[in-house]
Structure 1
Amino acid sequence: MDVPSWQDAKFGGKIRVARWLVEVVGEGKPFTKTALREAFPGVAQIDRRMRDLREAGWVIFTSREDPSLNSNEHRFVKQGEPVWVPGKVKPKTKSSLTVTQRTEAMKADNYLCRSCGVGAGEAYGEGLGAAQLDIARRQVKLADGSTTTQLVTECNRCRVGNRGDEADLSALLAKVASLGPIERKVLAQWVEADQRTYSILETLWGTYRTLPAEARAAFKQAVLGESK
């Protein structure tokens, strides 16, 4: 069949939005909600028709997945199935999380991003805005070799960086088994507290590395002088 034009009103909203993204926006480019609505005046729920494309494998980011976008912007990342071809797209089973699932997952994760530790609404710093928490699905390879999908809390910035990652639990457990008694005890304390605690030596070393050259030299002299 001929590829339809996004301006051809005899096609449905989802098909027209798909063609508009391909013909007008282009992969990798941002666009605004305002531009989308202006392109389809009078078409009801055009935003929803755009979101429906995700079920056909179209990747469209919001500011939640791409922090460089503002709340009025999206980014057309990648084209999915050609929804304008009859029978090409098969309906997908709904996989949305329930409110209960989301709440239980965040509670289990102490309402923190498990990748960077930021809490909801906390500032990233460096002008990167405030964190938004969401639930991601993560593939986990279990100790028996099987793979399962588990839920984890992540912030909008880490979700982008961790997309598609798989956690290898079996490899982690093997490394734990190789630890000596002292290392294992320290790790157990961190796990119990759900945070890493730093020794005085680690704190001093971290601070030393941030000092200007002259201050580092004075610090070095003091340490080496006392150690002799």
Structure 2
Amino acid sequence: MALPSWTDKKNGSMKRGGLWLITEVGEGNVFTKTQLKEAFPDVAQIDRRVRDLRDFGWRIDTNREDVSLDANEQRFVTQGEPVWEPGKGRAKSNTPITAVQRREIMSKDGHLCRSCGITPGQMYAGTYEAAQLDIARRSVLQANGAQSVQFVTECTRCRVGGRELVADTPRLLSKVRNLGPLERSILASWIAAGEREFSPLETVWAEYQSLAADSRELVRDAVGEGD
């Protein structure tokens, strides 16, 4: 089925924006705000209309998600729902998070990424990149089998990597019930403290796991040598 023309104003600005991305930019490629505005000189807020595509499964990264981009660039990563087709592209029920909600969520989450534990402004290990925190929508499977969306604080890296993940609450509860008394007591202490202290050995293991194959081989050799 042939795509409608992105220049046809009868399609609406969001639909036209999506069609422009597909036909003129292409998945995986970078475009600039200037190029977008030049393509739609008749639409005052075309950048907002293109952002709206994210509500329909489109992935369009800025420099917050892709540090290789500058402030004027965006990357069209993947197409989502074909919003120009009949019955598609209807308004979603998700409403924007207010500034008050954002502050409350971050406060409850301890002002740290709930996935990796990094704090705002903290440098990612081995880089000069400082972490930025944002609010992510997390799909959560409830005990009754229903799926809902909940808000959680995550850094930019984890928020991008976890977009397709669904938190399985029943599975986690089942694992908790299978813990022994000592393990459950330790878990309760971590929950009460809001953090977990890792032993030196666990820290070494985590860093080893993040290495490339050649570096892992060096560590394996060093471990085998002993004292």
TM-score (norm 1): 0.76
- The equivalent residue for 1:226 is none
Q: Is 1:110 the counterpart of 2:148 in the alignment?
A: no
Alignment of 1:1-228 (within 5 A): 3-7=3-7, 12-41=12-41, 43-84=43-84, 88-127=88-127, 129-199=129-199, 202=202, 216=223, 220-221=226-227
Contact 1:140 1:149 in 2 (8 A): yes
Distance 1:140 1:128 in 2: 33
Contact 1:176 1:184 in 2 (8 A): yes
The whole-number CA distance in structure 2 between the counterparts of 1:2 and 1:207 is: 50
| Distance apart, 1:144 and its partner CA | 4.1
The aligned amino acid for 1:77 is V
Q: Distance in 2 between matches of 1:202 and 1:8?
A: 59
Distance (Å, rounded) in 1 between the aligned partners of 2:52 and 2:65: 17
- Alignment coverage as a number of residue pairs: 220
TM-score, normalised on structure 2?
A: 0.76
In 2 relative to 1, CA 164–35 (structure 1 residues): closer, same or farther, beyond 3 Å?
same
1:194 aligned partner, one-letter code: G
Post-superposition CA distance 1:178-215 (Å, at most 9, x none): 22232222222222222212346656878999986786
Q: Return the letter of the residue paired with 1:39.
A: A
Report deviation, 1:26.
0.5
2-structure distance, mates of 1:101, 1:216: 49
In the TM superposition, residue 158 of structure 1 has moved relative to its aligned partner by 0.4
Q: Return the letter of the residue paired with 1:139.
A: S
Identity of aligned residues (%): 54
Structure 1's 158 and 67: CA in aligned 2 closer, same or farther, altered over 3 A?
A: farther
- Given that 1:67 and 1:128 are in contact with CA atoms closer than 8 Å, whether structure 2 keeps it comes out as no
Counterpart CA distance in 2 for 1:140 and 1:147 is 6
Cα distance in structure 1, aligned partners of 2:168 and 2:205? 31
Structure 2: any 5+ residue segments left out of the alignment? 210-215
Q: Aligned letter for 1:91?
A: A
Unaligned runs of at least 5 residues, structure 1: 222-228
Residue 137 of structure 1 contacts residue 152 of structure 1 at CA under 8 Å; is this kept in 2? yes
C-alpha distance in 2, partners of 1:214/1:83?
A: 55
Separation in 1 of the partners of 2:187 and 2:42?
A: 60
